[in-house]
Amino acid sequence: IQLRQRDQQASETISGISIEFDPQPVPGAAGKDTQESTEPVLSLTPFPDGVPKITAVLVSANNQPTDQVDYHGQCKFVSATASTSADSHVAPSVLDERNVHWWQPSEKEKKQCLTLTFGQPVDPAKTPFLSVLIFFGQNKSLPFRWRVRPFTGHDPQSKWDDAIAVALLKDQTQWTEDSREQLLAVFRQTAPSLSLLRTQISNLEERQNILTNKHSTMVMNTSSKPRETFVLNRGQYDAPTIRVTPRTPRVLPPLRVRRNGARTTDGDKDQRETQATRLDLAEWLTDPNHPLTARVAVNRIWALFFETGIVSTSADFGSQGEYPSHPDLLDYLATRFVSHGWNQKELIQMIVSSATYRQQSVTTAEQLTVDPGNRLLGRGPRFRLPAEFIRDQVLAVSGLLVPRVGGPSVHPYQPHGLWKEISHFGSTPATKQVFVQDHGEKLYRRSLYTIVKRTSPHPAMAAFDAPNREMCVVDRSKTNTPLQALVTLNDPQFAEAARVFASSILQEHSTHDERSRIEWAFESISSRPPTDSEITMIAQFLDAERARFQKSPIDAERVIAIGEYPVTYDIDPVEQAAWTQIATLLLNLSEVLTRQ
């Protein structure tokens, strides 16, 4: 709907909008009418159970009439109030853009009102049009007539704005006990200094709900009469031909099926009368005599540390795959893997402590000529780290990484409005269009927990060739593009980590000289001490950055303000910004972004 702000004075700014609901006993009314008028916008909309429910409201201010909300000019809300609210569906639920909660009034026979206040007032002289998009969820029954009105000044639904204004005009000695409580409540809700504390409380409350609420469990049972399956003629569902049953390739060990507690072999008469189950398939896959499962698993773990597996085609062990470069080694690792209880940690420890893995990755011209792909393992591996490893390494070095295991997906830093630009607003959380960034420790969880939206993968991960999960990818391609450097230099996650690491350099080594700080920072990141020439170059760069920020202190303030982690204000901003640039330089070294 569109509202022309003609009824407001040119000098007045729009503080927010009010959505009014008036029950109308109009049977069969449905739909909505959009019009530009000096009168409030009216609409008849049916609501389930006769109660209006609002899940989300989007508003944008425009200088031209438009039938869509401009996401780049979207007005942000700071508060939501209502005339009445149901117990678990209060007005602030509308502010959660994830579209998982809603507001609904506690009464349906009386007129109701929902009021939303903008964070920044809208000037009607510059943007005389408001585009308002309201999500009502599923509407099925009793119609309501609803209106949308802009308002000026404070929230007309507020119960304490006037009282607070009066209290602030008085001396503190004249405040009543009620006034003190109201002012304290406002301070707790709005004070910037308490922002981190409010986020921590919210995260703890959410975690408490996860731990205390009831959880559903998937329970599966095998049908006593499995569905019959047929080979379809030319793939047509209504043209079945030969009836088929679950079997495994004949070149592999036979599938053993349980029958009354006993095991029968594929091809036996008893087995043909019994349908194989998923449990039978799982036991067949993990059978010690199975020639593929352990070898495929070991080969992928090997590729994780050497870039290329013993079988280079990790996703294809069939006739089109490559023959193993070291077949005896593959057999040994596979049989050892099974005999040690499929223990991945034990296998990884053996690989990384081997002389083969611990070789230097420095190569010669002769080695490149004879063995360019290092298939003979004559030197140590050298390859760029996967996307998740790069991000986790930066967080670990800075001390920000949260090692806690388990929990739901998290929403770390991402460009604002990205999901809105390339996806359609869905009616369910699974197809939601709005990305709501997390705060607190959720910003620093391992990349394993970063939410994956297949139509819009995390941009920093995608820049380093992380798959979008539309299909299983065993062998990731590796590209080198300028965008990757822009990510590690400018992405808020990386810039914030560099700032925090710089603060630790200055705080934990405050008594050390500049050279000692450089040596400690370099070795902490690269796992080797720097050379004299490297120390000289870094010191020169530090002096240049320090001089640049001394000339423009505002630039230093901007550098140390990146990210939500609290800024260390007891350190000189110029010094902190200069060392942040040093940390960024070290985190972007080739030997830091690669395994070598």
Q: Is the pLDDT of residue 356 over 50?
A: yes
> Which amino acid does the sequence have at 403?
P
Question: What's the pLDDT at 11?
Answer: 58
Q: What is the dihedral of CA 217, 220, 221, 223, to 10 degrees?
A: 140
Nearest Cα to 140, choosing from 45, 19, 210? 45
Higher pLDDT pick, 124 / 491: 491
pTM, two decimals, is: 0.69
Instruction: Give the best-scoring range by mean pLDDT among 19-23, 275-279, 392-396.
Output: 392-396
pLDDT tens per residue across span 248-277:
888 888 888 876 555 556 555 554 557 788
Query: How is the chain split into domains, by residue range?
Result: 2-156, 229-284, 293-381, 382-596
Q: Is the pLDDT of residue 8 over 60?
A: no
In the chain, % of residues over pLDDT 90: 32
Q: What is the mean pLDDT of residues 479-492?
A: 92
Q: Who's near 488: CB < 8 A, 6+ residues apart?
A: 390, 394, 494, 587, 588, 593
- CA dist 190 and 199 (Å) reads 12
- CA dist 571 and 68 (Å) reads 47
DSSP of 122-155: E-TTT--EEEEEEE-----S-EEEEEEEEE-SS-
Q: Is the pLDDT of residue 104 over 60?
A: yes
- CA dist 58 and 74 (Å) reads 7
Q: In the beta sheet, which residues pair with residue 74?
A: 60
- CA dist 446 and 403 (Å) reads 7
DSSP 8-state assignment for residue 321: S
State the average pLDDT for the chain.
Answer: 81
Residues 236, 240, 243, 245: is their CA dihedral positive or negative? positive
Two tokens at 113? Answer: 């009102």
- CA dist 593 and 586 (Å) reads 10
pLDDT tens per residue across span 277-334:
888 889 999 998 888 999 999 999 999 999 899 999 988 888 888 899 999 999 999 9
Higher pLDDT pick, 99 / 184: 184
Segment among 292-296, 436-440, 461-465 with least mean pLDDT: 436-440
Question: What's the pLDDT at 157?
Answer: 60
Two tokens at 152? Answer: 């000026």
Higher pLDDT pick, 272 / 573: 573
Q: Is the pLDDT of residue 28 over 60?
A: no
